[in-house]
Amino acid sequence: MINLIIEDREGHRAPVEIPEGISLSLMEVLKASEYEVLATCGGMALCATCHVQVVEGPDQFFIPNDTELDMLDTLPDAGSDSRLACQIQISEDMDGMVFRLL
Ligand code: FES
């Protein structure tokens, strides 16, 4: 299992367990876990409603891709630890990571 910690918008942290080997984005996992993520663009990096902050994790997960960066640049509350959850593919390297919903 891949274990993540998700901090919701009220500051409550809860574990989310994901089976290894699944092909889902973090956005899809958050929606499946009933977090309030609108994802109105369906994962195309166009709506920014899946904006998350990487709180803890390996360095490579702090680096947005180019499409994602274009969208993050338009957000007033984006920081160097911002990502779009739809652009993060779940992988075993993510075990133990902490994300905050924005
Ligand atoms: S779901 Fe729209 S930007 Fe991620």
Long-range Cβ contacts of 75-78 (<8 Å, 24+ apart): 75/48, 75/51, 77/51, 77/102, 78/51
Q: Identify which of 29, 50, 73 to mutate to test ligand 1's pocket (most ligand atoms within 8 A of the CB).
A: 50
- Atom of ligand 1 minimally distant from the CA of 71: 3
Distance (Å) of CA 67 to CA 9, 42, 53, 94: 25, 15, 17, 21
- H-helix or E-strand spanning residue 12: none
pTM: 0.96
User: Which pLDDT belongs to residue 67?
Assistant: 95
- Atom of ligand 1 minimally distant from the CA of 84: 4
Tens digits of residue pLDDT in 27-69: 999 999 999 999 999 999 999 999 999 999 999 999 999 999 9
Long-range Cβ contacts of 60-64 (<8 Å, 24+ apart): 60/93, 61/88, 61/93, 61/94, 61/97
- Specify the fold of 2-101: Ubiquitin-like (UB roll) (3.10.20)
Domain borders along the chain are 2-101
